[in-house]
Structure 1
Amino acid sequence: MLPPPITVSRLDVSRIEPLLDDLDDDQVLGLEDELLRATVVEPRSMPADVVTMNSRVRCREENSGREWSVTLVYPQDAGKPDTVSILAPVGAALLGLAKGQSIDWPGRNGRTLRIVILDVEYQPEAAGDYDL
């Protein structure tokens, strides 16, 4: 399955790119690939249903039906409850997805999990919070 199209804000790209210098090759390639395939827009033009940095997202794993919410954060904010770092593979995969889109994710025992974005519960751009 081809990855779905994604949209990323110019502000997020400008904040993520400096992080790439401190990563190993595998992490850099995954995150760079996501940024390279993204449509980049100005923060004020970001659709409200797209996952951006510091967005709180409601997800569902299709096979189990399990639902959860998580906030996509920069590495310095990771480790808090219900957060995932942009440097984690799943964090990089969530960036730029819109409500209703899904990604296939390698799970335990080689099973593929399909994660669906149910809702973007909070998005900084939609709330006018450009300094997060």
Structure 2
Amino acid sequence: MHKTLTGERLLTELDFTRLNNLRGGKMPPELAETLDSLDLVPSREVPANVVTMYSQVILEDVATGKRQKLTLCYPADAEPHLGFISVLSPVGASLLGQRVGATARWRTPNGDACEAEVVELLFQPEASGDYTT
């Protein structure tokens, strides 16, 4: 059972419920593990520096210093070429619940390890007063 703690990664209760609905499909093990380890908070209480669903972030690749803008989304809205990254992807699962300043880590489909720092949160639905998206 989840409860609110002072852990490193947080998830809104609404995002948790919606993401758990994906468990019946083909949820990657990384995301299932992430969901089981995140601390839950009500949408109105999530800090503005936490990556939630539909957050828009700037990531900086630890190895190259290259920056990119990504939006974390549900699979139906994913358009990687436009920066809309599915939460079911390795990078998407690694971003969920991270805070600005944290380093997200994931593996590419060919097994390469990647790391990127969340350097800025450009938009978070909850911080803008949207608690239902």
TM-score with structure 1 setting the length: 0.87
Q: 1:98 — aligned with what?
A: 99
Q: 1:15 — aligned with what?
A: 18
Deviation at 1:15, TM superposition (A): 0.7
Q: Give the Cα separation in 2 of the matches to 1:131 and 1:55.
A: 13
1:71 aligns with 2:71: yes
Give the secondary structure class of the aligned counterpart of 1:59. Answer: strand
| Cα deviation code 1:11-56 (max 9, x no counterpart) | 10011101110116xx1x2212101111100000000000000000
Deviation at 1:131, TM superposition (A): 2.6
Distance 1:101 1:16, change over 3 A: same
Q: Give the Cα separation in 2 of the matches to 1:105 and 1:92.
A: 8
Aligned-residue identity in percent? 34
Matched letter for residue 85 of structure 1: S
Deviation at 1:111, TM superposition (A): 4.9
Q: Give the Cα separation in 1 of the matches to 2:125 and 2:61.
A: 25
Give the secondary structure class of the aligned counterpart of 1:53. Answer: coil
Q: 1:86 — aligned with what?
A: 87
Distance 1:32 1:108, change over 3 A: closer
User: How many residues end up aligned between the 2 structures?
Assistant: 126
1:55 aligns with 2:55: yes
Bigger drift between 88-97 and 109-118 goes to 109-118
CA contact (8 A) 1:52 1:123 kept: yes
TM-score with structure 2 setting the length: 0.87
Distance 1:110 1:33, change over 3 A: closer
Bigger drift between 55-64 and 99-108 goes to 99-108
What stretches of structure 2 of length at least 5 have no aligned partner?
1-6
What stretches of structure 1 of length at least 5 have no aligned partner?
none
Give the secondary structure class of the aligned counterpart of 1:47. Answer: coil
Q: Give the Cα separation in 1 of the matches to 2:96 and 2:83.
A: 16
Q: Give the Cα separation in 1 of the matches to 2:109 and 2:19.
A: 28
Q: Give the Cα separation in 2 of the matches to 1:111 and 1:75.
A: 23
